A and B are shown apart, each in its own frame.
Chain A
């Protein structure tokens, strides 16, 4: 299928980019030192922060990647939007924000420094840099793939263009531009995707007709397929243990860019309200991502004929529906939306990269010249683009991103949780927890590889060693990388906590006063000023439960 972009489409994309750079220029006028580059003048309203947080869940990975997952496996992908986010946001509201606000901590490595020591801070900063670089590269790769559908430039050229746009306005306006522009990015993504849902409803007239069209009931259930054998190989308990407990905490509650945004609000109550609002927005976001995907699979006859399980085709499912139902004019909005989806992650990633290098690794003064911070942002953009180009050459790498997160992100998240909840955990224990977590992840990965190979084929007599444990190794034989990652995340999370506690020596008594500031207290949950937020969060969790029961 070929799409011809008209002059109006180029005009729309140009107007959109002009507004992004305008916001960057306006923010530049307020900046005088590196401190202004990394911090937002604390006058952003809670709703602005909420949309900014929501933008972190509208990345190319969410739009292109999760629509492909939906096309392949049905609405099981809703777990990513709901169980993978909402419990993490509740954790952020009640356990993270009160502690960070009380101790006046701006980011996660700073917390690790104050709770443990400077070495843990450095480890944390390096881990975040690695994870954010790879995640941004993945987003560049996926976004470029979708954009080539509309404008057939080579993917490498798209990667360079997208990186230049993000680096351009972030260098100008720093964190302020990144947060403020999130609002423009979110609005353009919603403009492009919402009409697809409305047209889908008009096309079929009834939800049941979509179900009949697809002739597969399990495609529309989120829990029942997980009770038996399913194409993903994910069991129901993995959703609680692997996704909601282990991975989502690292991705949405203890994520560098989430904390950076939440801490840019002056009042912690406003920050909590922002997170609750972002949770509600996240809960309704499947309507603009998952629903159009289902409509696409049901509505386009050619999609039924070609194998949507082919990952390449599944990645282009939303652009294909847009190509079928939209005309010039809306094509421009679509191109702008896919650019926006990449920018959502890139701008956050660039700020994490530059802040982590500047504040946590170089430990530079906040009053340093702004050019230094800007140079770091450009360096970050270069790293992301280079990684994306490598990914473009070897597309198989993209499948290992989540695996890498379980190796590095989950141990760090587990240690941070230890710091928040267990006053007995020391810096020695924290470092042991991180290293132990990585080792557990490696062992789990090794076992899952061994389980998939026949012992006879193993070299160097390894087969004889493995053969007696074949029944035990069968546990690690997962049907998909996704299931393997969820299982690994849980093992690593629990393992890291246990190792951190085992290796923690005696706490220095002089630290006890500081520790009370840096650890979670249950009294903060039931504080008088928290009542409205508590009720709103409980209501959100009840609605989440009802939605899960409804789509059982």
Chain B
């Protein structure tokens, strides 16, 4: 799935938060809210808007973090795959030698030797 849902989620929270905060700041009228020892005037839109913006920023960062983590995991997985496959490819080549164009065979040998110095002997 190419769509990373953390982006729309973060954006939605930030946009809604900004709208609420600005409305609370410039338009809303405070209302008297009863607490145990009296009454306080509050504009509920402001703290809620601020919280949504913060939530959106946290989700945005979380999305970035999880994307980097996924990429790292995929790189590690790929590296692991390549190390496992090398000896198998070498054995196959020993069993059935196929005619390979010169340019390709040279590049393969160099890349193998760069990744794993032992593979040079096998090839």
Contact = CB atoms under 8 A, between A and B. Distances in A.
Nearest to B29: A327
B28 A328 contact: yes
A23 B33 contact: no
Contact of B5 (A41, A48, A191, A203): A48
A23 B24 CA distance: 29
Given A43-B1, A325-B44, A326-B44, A199 B15 contact: no
Contact of A180 (B5, B11, B12, B34): B5
Given A12-B19, A40-B1, A327 B31 contact: yes
A420 B78 CA distance: 37
A176 B1 contact: yes
A244 interface: no
Contact of B66 (A12, A45, A195): A45
A330 B31 CA distance: 13
Interface residues of A, number: 38
Contacts of A203: 33-36
Interface of B is mostly: helix
A325 B48 CA distance: 13
B8 A22 contact: yes
Interface in B20-57: 20, 23-24, 27-29, 31, 33-36, 43-45, 47-49, 52, 55
Interface residues of B, number: 32
Contact of B33 (A202, A204, A206): A202
Interface in A17-60: 19, 22-23, 26-27, 30, 40-41, 43-45, 48
Interface string B51-82: 01001000000000010000000000000000
A325 B32 CA distance: 9
Residue of A45, A325, A327 contacting most chain B CB atoms (<10 Å) = A327
Contacts of A19: 8, 11-12
A11 B20 CA distance: 10
A170 to B, nearest CB: 15
Contacts of A204: 36
A12 B43 CA distance: 17
B107 interface: no
23 contacts: A8-B20, A8-B27, A12-B19, A15-B16, A19-B11, A22-B8, A23-B3, A30-B2, A45-B66, A176-B1, A180-B5, A183-B9, A184-B5, A184-B12, A202-B35, A325-B44, A327-B28, A328-B28, A329-B23, A329-B49, A330-B20, A330-B44, A333-B48
Of all A-B residue pairs in the complex, the 6 with the closest CB atoms, nearest first, are A329-B45, A205-B36, A41-B1, A19-B12, A26-B3, A180-B5
Interface of A: 8, 11-12, 15-16, 19, 22-23, 26-27, 30, 40-41, 43-45, 48, 176, 180, 183-184, 187, 191, 195, 199, 202-206, 209, 325-330, 333
Given A23-B8, A183-B9, A199-B33, 9 more contacts: A8-B23, A16-B12, A19-B12, A23-B5, A187-B55, A327-B44, A329-B44, A330-B44, A330-B48
